[in-house]
């Protein structure tokens, strides 16, 4: 038996037109999975899928607005109808907004929680009717160090949403255990990605003296999506270079 083999697995990754989502999709595809690239940026999703296919990997693109329950349900229905299985879900889609507490508006609060927290709930809820058809499913949620420490450059709405992802993961882990579905959470720290590139975070504040990369997170996604993690559920894995030690 070869551990880590994802041949024949169907993996949906939200917000995967770029950054952590795309890096995760590429790694899962290299392990043999058919990756479903989803993003609110439909053109970006198509370009990402084309990039993977050109590298002889298996990928397909779909438009997805995770904040819309109708959009999420439509995607899950389409993927299952086409592929007859959904084995892995990576809830990665998110937006980052630095609005301070004094400047917070209801619109900004609602938009961030709709994408960053409600989206993960919709996707997890609506994948279960298909994922529970056989044991061994994996749900991986991308939270943030901000949800553990209260945020630094992130706004209170982002921080609250990512803290909610950590709690959501534990609740789903308890519920899904009866179906032999593992649900885990990843908390990236200071990262150098498309979303954070303009922030100019100082790598010297990190014990390992560098910012994290999309690939650093993707490696953890791969681990949690494979049979390497079969006896791990409800866990929060920190990818932060030693900045936050529990």
Catalytic site positions: 158
Task: Specify which residues 182 forms β-bridges with.
Answer: 138
C-alpha–C-alpha distance, residues 31 and 8, integer Å: 10
C-alpha–C-alpha distance, residues 15 and 91, integer Å: 8
Nearest Cα neighbor of 174 from 124, 117, 246 is: 124
Query: What would the DSSP string read from start to end of 211-223?
Result: -B-HHHHHHHHHH
Task: Specify which residues 12 forms β-bridges with.
Answer: 36, 89
Task: Specify which residues 187 forms β-bridges with.
Answer: 238
Helix (H, G, I), strand (E, B) or coil at 185: strand
Nearest Cα neighbor of 42 from 71, 20, 70, 9 is: 71
C-alpha–C-alpha distance, residues 139 and 92, integer Å: 11
Q: Report whether 37 contacts 16 (CB < 8 A).
A: yes
CA atoms lying within 13 Å on the CB side of residue 18: 12
Task: Specify which residues 11 forms β-bridges with.
Answer: 35, 88
């Amino acid at each position: 038996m070869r551990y880590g083999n994802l041949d024949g697995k169907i993996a949906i990754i939200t917000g995967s037109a770029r950054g952590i989502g795309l890096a995760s999709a590429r790694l899962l595809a290299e392990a043999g999975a058919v990756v479903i690239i989803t993003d609110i940026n439909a053109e970006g999703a198509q370009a990402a899928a084309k990039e993977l296919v050109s590298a002889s990997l298996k990928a397909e693109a779909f438009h997805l607005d995770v904040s819309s329950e109708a959009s999420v349900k439509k995607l899950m229905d389409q993927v299952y109808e086409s592929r007859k299985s959904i084995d892995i879900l990576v809830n990665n889609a998110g937006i980052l907004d630095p609005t301070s507490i004094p400047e917070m508006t209801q619109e900004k609060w609602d938009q961030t929680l709709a994408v960053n927290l409600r989206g993960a709930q919709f996707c997890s809820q609506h994948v279960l009717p298909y994922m529970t058809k056989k044991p061994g499913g994996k749900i991986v949620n991308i939270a943030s160090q901000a949800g553990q420490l209260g945020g630094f450059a992130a706004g209170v709405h982002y921080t609250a949403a990512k803290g909610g992802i950590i709690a959501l993961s534990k609740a789903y882990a308890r519920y899904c255990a009866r179906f032999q579905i593992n649900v885990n959470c990843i908390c990236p720290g200071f990262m150098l990605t498309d979303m954070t590139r303009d922030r100019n975070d100082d790598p010297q504040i990190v014990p390992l003296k560098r910012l994290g990369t999309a690939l650093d997170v993707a490696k953890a996604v791969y681990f949690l999506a494979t049979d390497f993690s079969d006896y791990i559920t409800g866990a929060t894995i920190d990818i932060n270079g030693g900045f936050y030690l529990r």
